[in-house]
Chains A and B, each alone.
Chain A
Amino acid sequence: MSMTGKHIVIQFTKRWQFLLVVEVCAYALGFALLVFAVSFNLMATMCGFVVCGLVLLLIRKPWQINLNKASSFLDQSLGGMENSTGLFLTPKTELSDIALLQRHRIEERLKTEIGKVEPKVPLKRALLWLLVFGVAAFFLYYFNLFGNLNTSNNSPATKEAIVFQALDSVVSESNPPSIKEQRLTIKYPAYTGLPPKTTTNMNIKALEGSTIFWSIQFDKVVDSVFMERNGESNSMKLKGTKYIKSIQLAQSGFYNFKFKDLGGTNYLSDLYSIEVVKDEIPEIEIQQLKQFSSFDAKDDKILNFNTLISDDYGISDVYIIATVTKGEGESVKFREERLSFGALNSRSKKLNLKKTIDLAALKMEAGDELYFYIEAIDTKQPKPNRARSETFFAVIRDTVSNRFAVEGTMGVDLMPDYFRSQRQLIIDTEKLIADKNKLTEKEFNFTSNELGYDQKALRLKYGEFMGDEADSGIQVTEEIEPEALPEGEQEEDDPLGAYTHDHDHDNEHNLADLDHEEEETDEEEDPLSNYLHNHDDPEESTLFTQSLKSKLRQAMAEMWDAELHLRLYTPENSLPYQYRALKLIQEIKNSSRIYVHRIGFDPPPIKEDKRLSGEIKDIKTLQKVDDVVKEDDFSAMREAVTRITEIVANQSKLVDTDRGLFDAAGNELAVLAIKNPSKYLNTLQRLKWISEKEQITVQELLEVQSGLLRALPTIEANPSKRTFFQDEMNTLMLKELEIND
């Protein structure tokens, strides 16, 4: 369908109008984006968009673009139109023939050329501005440049202003005094280095030791102003037109203001909280260091670690306390040293310190141990906080001392001698291997077999420790020829006799006639009962003994193999097993230290006839009087609840003593409210009110009562004297029951 010239002009007009509207929208949108970035408020953004759009519409006036305007624009911008586009707008019937001809000619030309012309609308510029606004808005939004402006926008006057209510509702003045200016200044302790903070918010949260200054100004002259805190009422000083007061923060709590106007009416404010924040102790974190480090004598004995220390207000000092121990048992010596980290960046809140400890520099030798921890001190005054890290250990292993560790720590050697024979066996085996060439095969095999036998004897002895049947095999102790046994084993049957006192276990012996010789005869049945854990006793079956047991088993398994190879005349193959067995046995020996602590003092029995026969003339009857009633911390709260029930039940009025009671209850509740303000603050506020106000409704009282009941802790189970009614009938009845029983 071919369009007529008029249609083309109409379409062009509409397009023009549309583009104008788009332009306006682009500007308005850009502006709206800016508004949003500044205000973060959708409503304001919408308003911005609408207002800006309307203003621009009024300027641009897209409705003024009509057909005439469009046709004249086309005439001007298209060269070949010969000022004739106006012909399309007049009806055909009104045109002359020439005009019709001209119109037809132009129509054809317009159809081809209309694509070349655009309405005169600076759309690109508009879109460019939109882009600029958009980017600007994005940056504003992203970096929150107007964030502060925004929060302070929330009209502090309405939220934070101290609101006073008259206590006497009867004398409600039409225009009571109100706050003109309120200011709270928190001056932090000097060591924090924080600047003083001034605010209008009366709820305080500040560091312990800070000083608080209040300054309030009324719009009218008032009689006196008080600040009530922790049950005390302190008057505020008048300085110029302002009432001021200052305190140093020591404990959390609540406070409120109270003033009296010239008419004598009292006004009370809401409760405000004081929250005292304690200076945190420094935090210490040690990296790249194991709790236990051990070095061999030949190693480079260097500890390297990183320490991260942080504190909320600054660290004043950090150092290491190192303790070196030398020697063992009773001969142990301690040496304490303080190591520093070098120069500190004073007062910094975070420190990352590197430290290298050279054990050699601490003059540590093999067998010495080092214990150290890091201590950090913060800048708090007057008494700084100290923090300690956990303790770290470093040991230079002493391989030699291990073998005789037991002897070193005890007054007596409690280890039975057979433990040494494994070492003896190794020596003998090594000797056998060395002498192999000198010996005949028979001699060699015989000695090897003998050693295997000794190995078996040893194993069976260990088996006894494990609770294995001792007579399962050969009666070892009897069969071994004393010569065949290594030195250590040549002792008498009871290796423990020297260290045990028989009367410790036998009450039949009388203490008076002690006879050591008689007692030392034998103790065959269980030579180890004193030194071993009785595993049947659940108290002694610890994790530790479990591992001991398994080690012993392992050692026995190694001995089995050692014996096998000795019996097969291959002592070389047997050696590794023997060594392993020896190592295990040594470990067991070392763990035996734990027994030392478990062997308690076993007092000698007391002779029966001597019991309770002492002189008692010096023993006096003892009399002790004590009052130990646990004070109820909430007695006033309980009383207040009771009093409220009375007031509600009798519909009586509050008297002065009630106010005192409610005050006392408020002080008790404040202790709870500090810990849990969300739960109890409301009740505390109401309690304050009813203790001050003249007229109180029953509902208010019930609310307070409910809050108090909720806050009161449950009473502990406590017996009480019960009551019962007694008359002749009851008494008769009980007597009858007793008779017929």
Chain B
Amino acid sequence: MIDTDLFQNSYLLWPVAIAASVLWILFVWKEWSTPIKKRFYFHSLISLITILSLAMLALKPLSKRVVQSNAGVLLTNGYSQKHLDSLKKSIKGITILDYQENAQIGQVLDSLGNLFVLGNGVASYDFWQFENRSVRYLGAEVPSGIIDLKYTQENVLGEPLKIEGRYHNARASHRLVLQDGNSQGLDSLEFNSETIQAFELSTPLKAIGNFVFQLVEKDSLGEAILKEPLPFKVIDKNSLKILLVNSFPTFETKYLKNYLAEMGHEVVVRSQLTRGRYKFEYFNTKRIPIYRFGEKELENFDLLFIDGTSFRNLSTRSWTSIEKTIQHKGMGLFVQSEASLFDRSSKRHGLEFEKDGIPKATLNEFPKVLLEKFTFRFKDVDGIEEIHTSKGNLVTAYKRIQQGRIGASVIQNTYQLQLDGKTGIYRQFWSEIVNKLSKKKTLLTDWEVTNNFPLENHPFQFELRTSIEKPQVFSTDKYQIALRQHVDIPSLWSSTTYPKNKGWNSLLLKDKTHVGLDFFVVDSTTWQSLRTKRRQKANRRFFTAISDSFVERTITASIHPIWFFLVALFGFGYLWVYPKVFQN
């Protein structure tokens, strides 16, 4: 059977074949019946060719061809003319296509063998049209402007907002300014003449809420050239519940408890007076004495400070309870250092030390401050995580034990900082330790967004991890958004929404007690360089993944009908002229 793939109009094959056969039989009969049979066979052949050509005109046969000759180039925004010209030169007859977002181009692409994409690339929501095709992304120049940006969109009150990024093609003497909502400068830097410049700006956060600051590029005259919105959220602090256990009162504990209590945390201090007698101090909390360390007593505490002596003297039972609380409830434990702590490695805390003989330390965060320390340092073993380092040596570190953490420091007499008037450094030092070690509040939901700057009416994809069984998500205007559950991970859900309004939008869960997601929808005129760079990156990643199929393959194409027409014309012409000229 004839392969139907041979003809474009293969559905006409049988009718055409029958008609052609009939026509040819008629012709042969007519030729036979004429008196001159001089060239009977020759004429039959000619007529066969002519009739076949006619049939071909109708059937449109296909031929296999190498794609090279049928390559296309898709021009997207920002393509370079030079690039296109050189492409045109090397591939003759290349088809040029203009890219339009969200337009169907599948059919056009079908006709092309290889496709080159020039420029910034196609939108990520158009990628599906290029799947399983041989496409090579040739890219475009890196855009001028901010091409990388890193900052946390959700910050805790009191911590600084840090913005890091890279700027491409900055002009010297131009300045990059971080401005607040009212265009008041908060931090700035001046560019030099390097091509790619890393920048870092920061400002302290002083109030909670959803803010929109701006990143502004100003020329040497102070005129704003570029204004990009910088949305971020500041959330409130949560106070902690901390237990300090000492076998005798120390200055370190005295200052530490004062600091923590002053900052509004619930602090319980237990110092031993003598056998079985304690001094309990309760700051900002109710009076509940702790005589023994049971799981029940400890479960409400976020962090336990214990001095070396008390730690060593803990009964096995107490230690088991503490350990269990750390493992299962996520409580933190900080063992206050004293010389005996380092001499023998304890299986209890699992932290390992080694002697370094250096009595002073300067932390990386505060290079000008000299701190007293024990002549030990942490052994940098697997599982140990740093809090403070001094010239590459770990001086404060912790270890995870399932949900919780156990930490210690070789720095001693930090209260000296307060006495020296360096209260800020003292507070930062302990605040870092407490932040790292203390129990974390578990959330039932976790939102993840890939695009920091979603556009109005453009797809905004998000992922939701939650232990809620059937989460229901609603948009700002109360529409429910359908979620798709992950095949293998039942707690992972994803979806896409199309925000309608610029500015702050939010996604809420049906149960309002769970944390929703606030996101800021920007104007398409903002963050262009960043978006371009990201699009280029996404295109490169996507097309690299599929460009393995970019081989010189052949495809079938219909043969141009002019050839059949000419053959038929000549055939008819000859058959018509011959009897007239050679009859006599």
Contact = CB atoms under 8 A, between A and B. Distances in A.
Given A734-B400, A734-B402, A724 B443 contact: yes
B442 A706 contact: no
A738 interface: yes
A702 B427 contact: no
Interface of A: 612, 616, 619-630, 637-639, 641-646, 648-650, 699, 702-703, 705-710, 712-729, 731, 734-735, 737-738, 741
B238 A720 contact: yes
Contact of B207 (A699, A712, A716, A722): A712
Nearest to B401: A738
Interface in B316-375: 327
A629 B504 contact: no
A566 to B, nearest CB: 54
Interface string B254-289: 000010111111000000011101111111101101
A715 B157 contact: yes
B195 interface: no
A724 B440 contact: yes
Nearest to B476: A650
A482 to B, nearest CB: 52
A630 B289 CA distance: 24
Contacts of A719: 240, 260, 263, 265, 430-435, 438
Contacts of A724: 440-443
B156 interface: yes
Nearest to A629: B264
A717 B238 contact: no
B180 A709 contact: yes
A717 B182 contact: no
Interface string B223-237: 000000000000001
B273 A717 contact: no
Contact of A621 (B210, B211, B278, B283): B278
B182 A629 contact: no
Contacts of B442: 723-726
Given A616-B274, A621-B289, A722 B209 contact: no
A628 B284 contact: yes
Nearest to B278: A621
Contacts of A723: 440-443
Interface of B: 156-158, 180-184, 204-211, 237-240, 258, 260-265, 273-275, 277-284, 286-287, 289, 302, 327, 382-383, 400-403, 424, 427-428, 430-435, 438-446, 465-467, 489, 491, 503-504
Instruction: Rank and list the top 9 A-B pairs by shortest CB-CB distance, nearest first.
Output: A645-B209, A725-B446, A706-B182, A719-B434, A715-B158, A721-B238, A641-B207, A720-B237, A642-B209
A629 B274 contact: no
12 contacts: A616-B274, A619-B274, A623-B289, A626-B261, A629-B262, A706-B183, A709-B207, A715-B205, A719-B240, A724-B443, A727-B467, A728-B491
Contact of A646 (B209, B433, B445): B209
B359 to A, nearest CB: 15
A144 B141 CA distance: 72
A715 B262 CA distance: 13
A624 B279 contact: yes
Contacts of A625: 281-282, 286-287
B441 A722 contact: yes
Contacts of B302: 721
Nearest to B518: A649
Contacts of A731: 403
A715 to B, nearest CB: 4
A593 to B, nearest CB: 30
Nearest to A741: B383
A727 B435 contact: no
A716 to B, nearest CB: 6
A734 B289 contact: no
Contacts of A629: 261-264, 284
A727 B445 CA distance: 9
Best-surrounded residue of B283, B302, B444 (most CB of chain A within 10 A)? B283
Given A628-B262, A718-B427, A734 B403 contact: yes
B39 to A, nearest CB: 87
B182 A703 contact: yes
Contacts of A718: 158, 237, 263-264, 427, 431
Contact of B208 (A619, A638, A716, A727): A638
Nearest to B264: A629
A738 B435 contact: no
Nearest to B491: A727
A719 B259 CA distance: 11
Contacts of B503: 649
B441 to A, nearest CB: 5
Contacts of B400: 734, 737
A616 B277 contact: yes
A612 B274 contact: yes
B491 A729 contact: yes
A736 to B, nearest CB: 10
A642 B281 contact: no
A622 B156 CA distance: 37
B431 A717 contact: yes
B279 A621 contact: yes
Contacts of A710: 184
A638 B206 contact: yes
A722 B401 contact: no
Given A619-B273, A622-B273, A714 B204 contact: yes
Contacts of B277: 616, 619-621
A638 B265 contact: no
A630 B443 contact: no
A716 B158 contact: yes
Best-surrounded residue of A621, A641, A707, A724 (most CB of chain B within 10 A)? A621
Contacts of A706: 180-184
A711 to B, nearest CB: 9
Contacts of B401: 738
Given A719-B431, A723-B442, A729-B489, A705 B240 contact: no
Nearest to A630: B262
A716 B281 CA distance: 24
Contacts of A712: 206-207
Given A623-B289, A709-B180, A725-B465, A716 B427 contact: yes
A230 B382 CA distance: 61
Given A623-B289, A638-B206, A725 B443 contact: yes
B443 to A, nearest CB: 5
Given A624-B282, A646-B209, A728-B491, A722 B289 contact: no
Contact of A714 (B183, B206, B440): B206
A720 B240 contact: yes
A417 B382 CA distance: 69
A721 B440 contact: yes
B280 A623 contact: yes
Contacts of B158: 714-718, 720
A726 B443 contact: yes
Given A714-B206, A719-B435, A727-B467, A627 B273 contact: no
Contacts of A722: 156, 435, 438, 440-441
Given A718-B431, A720-B240, 5 more contacts: A630-B263, A642-B208, A706-B181, A717-B427, A718-B263
A729 B465 CA distance: 11
Nearest to B158: A715
Nearest to A700: B182
A490 B280 CA distance: 63
A624 B280 contact: yes
A411 to B, nearest CB: 35
A728 to B, nearest CB: 7
Contacts of A648: 181
A622 B209 contact: no
Nearest to B160: A714
Contact of A638 (B207, B264, B289): B207
Given A619-B273, A619-B277, A625-B287, A702 B263 contact: no
A517 B468 CA distance: 87
A737 B265 CA distance: 32
Given A714-B204, A725-B442, A623 B264 contact: no
